[in-house]
Amino acid sequence: MTGFFDGIPSVRYEGPDSDNDYAYRWYDPERMVLGRRMEDHLRFAVAYWHSFCWPGGDPFGGQTFERPWFGDTMDGARMKADVAFEMFDRLGVPFFCFHDRDAAPEGANLAESIRNLNEIGDIFARKMETSRTRLLWGTANLFSHRRYMSGAATNPDPDVFAYAAGQVKAAMDVTQRLGGQNYVLWGGREGYETLLNTDMKRELDQLGRFLSLVVEYKHKIGFDGTILIEPKPQETTKHQYDYDVASVFGFLKAYGLEKEVKVNIEVGHAVLAGHSFEHEVALATALGIFGSVDMNRNDYQSGWDTDQFPMNVQEVALALYYILKAGGFTTGGLNFDAKLRRQSLDASDLILAHVGGMDTCARALLVAAEMVEKGDLSTPLAERYAGWDTEEGQAMLSGKRSLEEIAARVERDGIEPEPVSGRQEVLENRLNRRF
């Protein structure tokens, strides 16, 4: 034991009436919801980078956190792994996620960096023998080092592309060895600042080839997890190629990867793209590419990705409703890609932030499940589109009617459609009654 969490108890479910800060009021892992355990619905994960590596800076100020493991040393990385699993066990979370560079420091060259990562991977493996926490996904940091200032896969230098490929291969190997259920690619600098020095067609082709290489390697090594792309519209480049779910789907279709790759949707990124979180979830499920979620929220009065812990039950409930309607998670889950506020310095803050986020999601799940059971939204929706389920509606959709035949029927039958209310206020009222 490192002593970092001394005096902080393990967190257990005590119910809505509990006044214990170190207790779950809504998150009861064993509670059955729509035929599944709550833990299996939510599949919570702790993000290694923000929880144990983020120094507490913002765009206008530097480090505020002081952690005994900070620094680019292997001793610090080993201590960080100890602290991480102590927190996983206290929270009782089923999963965690990691970036390669946050788990282990970069070496003098790629070979040394891979050795460092493999050593920490071995430590993770040993700790997982006695911990219930498993790996939801791994990824490679292809954005922090200055070599990636012009992108990784989209870089004008093919040597940078090759270096990134080596880094991803190593991260995928460790992810598979640890039983990871997904592998994520976030295009942190896969975009451009100005078209004056950018060949967009060339860069998109490079990105398509890079992703194809990842998929090919997945099958070669027998990795049975899901490959995920995480959309983000801004930060770090002015224009990101993976702007939102729609642009990612168009990219996957263009390179024949829509059956191989799904999306990891982050709440804050959806907001930056001008969408709601539930929009991105609903679109991904409609397109068949929904995979996993980075669960956080943005400050709506700030213009950057603030990565706060989720605290808005209504926002989360609507997104979870669409996830439930689509069948729920398979290999994905809810990863807390969220930061403490830079004034929240104590070890207890790290624990309690996750407790609050997990309770928010658990309470939202119960609301979403009740909406599914009661049909508050689904029944009016089915009624609104019922005309398309008729014989003639299906005939038009299936290609059994030509344009001329459709037009002739309108004239022959004297069809004069009248507008029908969308009943938006009624549906919003029904939603609000759940809170």
Please, where are the H alpha helices in 222-304? 245-254, 267-272, 277-287
Contacts of 99 (CB under 8 A, 6+ apart): 48, 49, 138, 139, 140, 141
Cβ distance 135 to 93 under 8 Å? no
Residue 28 annotated in active site: no
Residue 235 CA neighbour count, 13 Å, CB half: 14
Residue 256, by phi and psi: left (phi above 0), alpha (psi -120 to 50) or beta?
A: left
The helix/strand/coil state of 157 is coil
Out of 99, 269, 279, 354, pick the active-site residue.
Answer: 99
Q: How many CB atoms lie within 10 A of CB 287?
A: 18
Return the structure tokens found at 178: 């640890």
Out of 28, 41, 50, 102, pick the active-site residue.
Answer: 102
- Dihedral angle sign, alpha carbons of residues 422, 312, 187, 322: negative
The helix/strand/coil state of 100 is helix
Beta-bridge mates of residue 334: 44, 293
The burial class, CB within 10 Å (0-12 / 13-18 / 19+), for 371 is buried
User: Reduced to 3 DSSP states, what percent helix, strand and coil does the chain have, rounded to the nearest 5?
Assistant: 45, 10, 40
Residues 224 and 217: their CA atoms lie apart, in Å, by: 11
CA neighbor of 302 nearest in space, from 366, 235, 353, 356: 235
Residue 102 annotated in active site: yes
Give helix 277-287 / helix 313-325 axis angle, nearest 10°. Answer: 10
* Residues carrying an active site annotation: 99, 102
